[in-house]
Amino acid sequence: MSWMARILAIDRRVIFVLVGLGTAIPLLWPVNLPITVTPRVEAAYQTIEALPAGSTVLISMDYEPDTMAELQPMSIAVLRHCFRRNLKLIVITLYPAGPGLVEPALRLAAAAEGKERNKDYAFLGYKSGFQAVMIALGESIRQQFPVDFYKTPLDSIPILRGVNSYSKIDLVINLTASTAADYWIQFAASRYHKPLILGVTAVMATDYYPYLSSRQILGLVGGMKGAAEYEKRMDIFGDARRGMDAQSLVHVIIAGLVILGNAALLTTRKTA
Amino acid sequence: MRSGPVILTFLVGTALIALFFIPHHKAQAINAELLVWATVIYAFALILGSISLWNTHARKIRLKTEGWPYSLVTLFALVVVTALGVWQGVGEGTVVSRIYNMVNSPLASTMFALLAFFIASAAFRAFRARNVEATLLLVTAVLMMIGRVSIGEFIWKGFPGFTEWLLDVPNLAAKRAIAIGVGLGAVSIGLKIILGIERGYLGRSR
Amino acid sequence: MGAELDTRWFDPARTNLLVGLLLFLTFLAINVLRAKRGGSIYIRPLAGLKALDEAIGRATEMGRSILYMPGLGSMEEVGTLASITIVSRVARKVADLGCSMQVPCYDPVVMAIIDGVVREAYLEAGRGDEFKPGSVHYVSAQQFAYVAAVSGIMLRERPAANVFMGSFYAESLFLAETGNLTGAIQIAGCDKVTQLPFFVCACDYTLMGEELFAASAYIGREPIQLATIAAQDWAKALAAAMIVAAIALSALGHPELGRLLHTS
Amino acid sequence: MSVVETWIAAFLTLCIFSFLYRDNPFYRFAEHLFVGVAAGYLLAVQYQDVIVPNVWMPLVAGPHTPRSIFLALIPAVLGVLMLARVWERMAGPARWAIAFYVGIYSGIAVPGYLQGQIFAQLSDAVKPFAPGWGAINSALVLLGLLTVLAYFFFSAPHRGIHGAGARIGTWFLMVAFGASFGYTVMARVSLLISRVQFLLRDWLHLIPTT
């Protein structure tokens, strides 16, 4: 069997090994492939960069373990940027499985930037009701979240003193894999006229380009690639940039295999 | 005996179609109630399904067919998790939710992750330039793959823009046409069943 | 403050939908009458369904079974309804030839329905005793637990043909790629656009979108069923014409037609 | 997750990865455990969320009014009829429950797909052409839409003008499928990355947490 014919009849497990290595190697030994920061991510970065120190930011992290690969590194990068800008963060989640992801992300970001709970950020935990919560935050945060995730009353949390509705919030950031984004645009941005930044999965990102061009959202971070760009902009080397190395490698492996297969097909067809 | 159920399907189906057009709160209350009834039937059907699952595996054990010990694992898990769930509930903090997070979550996400391997083997085998259509399929797929990762942008600045064009024009056009066709097919099959033209679901192929 | 209770008996915003429904019913009525009066209705051949016939024949010769997967949609998905109408005809062919068919189910109600359908097919074919109870069985209503079990069936019981008919999601590639490994002939029909590329790549034949809904009429070849497909085509032609007209009119400054199609 | 839970999750993860090599006892064990736990979990959820509030409470435990009993009785009877299919001779009566259930979802589907699929796509498709260069894209979208619709026409053979249109339609379909296929690769690889990260970081501690 000619060399080319053997390629065509390659055992699929060879392909599986290649994909497995293409994923594991960059995670262990980062390749640090070049990343260019696209305008949409830059716009999100600049919006946070422009906030004066001490401004209050409401972050709603509405996603669950199945989309963690794309959104967890994005959350950590955005949280670290807010901490680095000495902003006051109020963090909530509208998904029951949210706290299991949000809490570790907050701990990681705060530790990396030397920030403290209740002094620099407050995590209010999960509240069901989706749109109802978003609207109610316009009236009173305390009515929705009488106590924070750790059961401490809001009044005894330093950064929440005097903050009880959207009026005191300078920026809303929503990191989500679901239609929560549409409702945040409808309520936070349109109804309460709060500046809004979105962080969504790659699959969803293209649907929100129109909102960016119409300035309903001021920045859009899409998928693991967007998160990697944000990490590069923050000059940190997180899971997103490692992940993007693996993505690039596996995509190149698959594309290469397809090209190789067709090259083999052409030569065998010529000789046959 | 057979025409009775067909009439019931007609009555219920027509009622649901009518309720779509009637916003009256009493009508919508009936609509909601009927949907609750459907969920109750589903719950009982799930018990029937679980009995079917039990029979499948119990038969394997009884007949000692090849691989019957594995069926013991399924039946054991089924009994234990059902009993705990019925007795203690399944919410956050219950034993069942811990079992679920420890067993089903990793299994489901790893099964999902296997798709990365299968997408590679399927691409290698299927993307062969045998004719115009197959060539269009593979060229578009390769360009889309390369264009969406940082390497693509590194090769050609316009790559991401091009991949978005592929999604916004050809992909959108075909998706829209298929969606219209599926919509028409769905309405057609729904009406056929309600009007009794199609009775296959009652076990009558003629 | 009590919300304003709606007491209207008709929602005017949905008038266009009602007109659309009545139009479709008219097309249906005309074509059914045409069929009843013996008018012949041409329907272009669907390669996938011819292959399905051959696959059942070959499976019978080899004494191996057919694996029919009715999809991972519940009854809310019309692809599932389509799959039920298809399996009722396939079951009759399988019963006629004395072949055996296994139907692992995701939705328990679908299992109850298909169990009745297959049992009935064997009775009608005069082979009531050959029906194997449990051949139509519930596997799991969780996506990847179903996939894990069915992949096991494919690899261990080696059916001669894998038939995927209905609504499939991300698991489509997993099942089709595993089935491809076993060398079985694979015929798929799916209404989910995002899954069609994977079926096209991993299966021998794929019924795309609307073809899934037309399949049951094809296999049965009953005139009235073919009439409903003709009605669908009339509606499709009308839709295409309206799109072109609306765009042309709005280019000339009359966007009214386009607005007619708008839904709340 | 505690250490024990991490080790169990890692073991089960490797059992599933072993399927890539071939069907083996580890995969078979994980498969059967998966099916059993999933079946038990779903059964318990349906019991807690549906059976108790909609059947047990109104008929037995909870506050009853003649109306609430009657309203709860109908679905319960239909449900029991469905359940009775366990015995073969009860397959007949179960058809009433099936007919009701199929009627509900056919009745939902007809207007639902009419609005959500047909009219939603039509109202999108009739948007006026984009100005300037965008008009080319709008024209291409319209051309693709019409030719793919032509491909899906059943009552005319793919011959002549209709045949040519259908052929162009298949080209649009292939480009659309290629784009959709390539677009999905990243999402699938992301899932693999998070599983490999779980093994390398949470289990083997070979990757530093950021």
- Percent with pLDDT over 70 in chain D: 100
Query: Under a CB-based contact definition with an 8 Å cutoff, are residues A227 and A205 in contact?
Result: no
Q: How far is CA D5 from the centre of its chain?
A: 29
Q: Tell me the average pLDDT across A131-158.
A: 86
Chain D: closest CA distance from residue C148 (Å):
6
Chain segment B92-125, per-residue pLDDT in tens: 789 999 999 899 999 999 999 999 999 999 999 9
Query: B24 vs chain D: nearest CA distance in angstroms?
Result: 17
Task: Give the span between the Cα atoms of B203 and C215, in whole angstroms.
Answer: 17
Element (H, E) at A166: none
- Residue D105: φ, ψ to 5°: -80, -25
Residue by residue, pLDDT tens for chain D (210 residues) are 789 999 999 999 999 999 999 999 999 999 999 999 999 999 999 999 999 999 998 888 878 888 888 889 999 999 999 999 888 888 888 999 999 999 999 999 999 999 999 999 998 899 888 888 889 999 999 999 999 999 999 988 888 999 999 999 999 999 999 999 998 998 899 889 989 999 999 999 998 875
pLDDT digits (tens, 9 = 90+) for B48-97: 999 999 999 999 999 999 999 999 999 999 999 999 999 998 887 899 99
| B2 confidence band (pLDDT: 50, 70, 90) | low
Q: What is the DSSP letter of D48?
A: I
- % of chain C beyond a pLDDT of 70: 98
pLDDT at residue B21 in the model:
94
Q: Please give the pLDDT value at position D198.
A: 92
Preferred mutation among A21, A31, A68 to probe D, highest tally of D CBs within 10 A: A68
Angle subtended by helix axes B172-194 and C78-97, to nearest 10: 70
* Confidence category of residue B148, pLDDT binned at 50, 70, 90: confident
pLDDT of residue C2: 52
Lowest mean pLDDT among B75-89, B149-163, B170-184: B149-163
Instruction: Give B180's pLDDT tier (boundaries 50, 70, 90).
Output: very high
Asked if residue A233 has pLDDT above 50, the reply is: yes
Q: What is the CATH number of domain A39-237?
A: 3.40.50
Return the pLDDT at B206. 44
Chains in touch with D (3+ beta-carbon pairs under 8 Å) read: A, B, C
CA angle B167, B171, B173 (to 5 degrees): 125
For residue range C33-52, list pLDDT tens digits in order.
Answer: 999 998 788 888 899 999 99
Residues of C in contact with B90 (CB under 8 A): none
Sorting pLDDT into bands at 50, 70 and 90, what band is B205? very low
Helix residue ranges, H only, chain C: 15-36, 47-62, 78-97, 108-124, 143-157, 171-182, 196-202, 210-220, 223-251, 256-260
pLDDT of residue B151: 84
Give me the phi and psi of C186, to 5 degrees please. -125, 125
pLDDT of residue D62: 75
Spatial contact of B183 and D118, defined as CB atoms under 8 Å apart = yes
Q: What is the pLDDT of residues C4-17, one digit of tens each?
A: 788 888 989 899 99
Distance CA A84, CA A91 (A): 16
Q: Which chains touch A (3 or more CB pairs under 8 A)?
A: B, D
Euclidean distance between CA atoms D198 and C256, whole angstroms: 56
pLDDT band at A1 (very low <50, low <70, confident <90, very high): low
Per-residue pLDDT band for A14 (boundaries 50, 70, 90) equals: very high
Show the CA angle centred on residue C60, arms to residues C188 and C140, nearest 5°: 45
CB contact under 8 A, D185 and A250: yes
**Domains of chain C and CATH, by start:** 15-35+223-261 (no CATH), 47-220 (3.40.50)
Band of pLDDT at residue A130, cut at 50, 70 and 90: confident
pLDDT at A202 over 50: yes
Hey, what are A243's tokens?
A: 């992940």
- The answer to whether D200 contacts chain A (CB < 8 Å) is yes
Does the CB of D148 have a partner CB in chain B at under 8 Å? yes
Distance from CA of B106 to the nearest CA of D (A): 6
CA distance C179 to C161: 9
- Alpha-carbon distance B156 to B160, whole Å? 9
Among partner residues A70, A112, A251, which is closest to D185 by beta-carbon distance?
Answer: A251
Q: Nearest CA to B119 among A241, A64, C151, D180?
A: D180
* Cβ pair C187, C161 in contact under 8 A: yes
Question: Where do the structural domains in chain B lie, given as residue ranges?
Answer: 4-65, 123-194
C-alpha–C-alpha distance, residues C156 and C137, integer Å: 17
pLDDT at residue A271 is higher than 70: no
pTM as predicted: 0.90
Predicted confidence (pLDDT) per residue in B10-20, tens digit: 999 999 999 99
Chains touching C (3+ CB pairs < 8 Å):
B, D
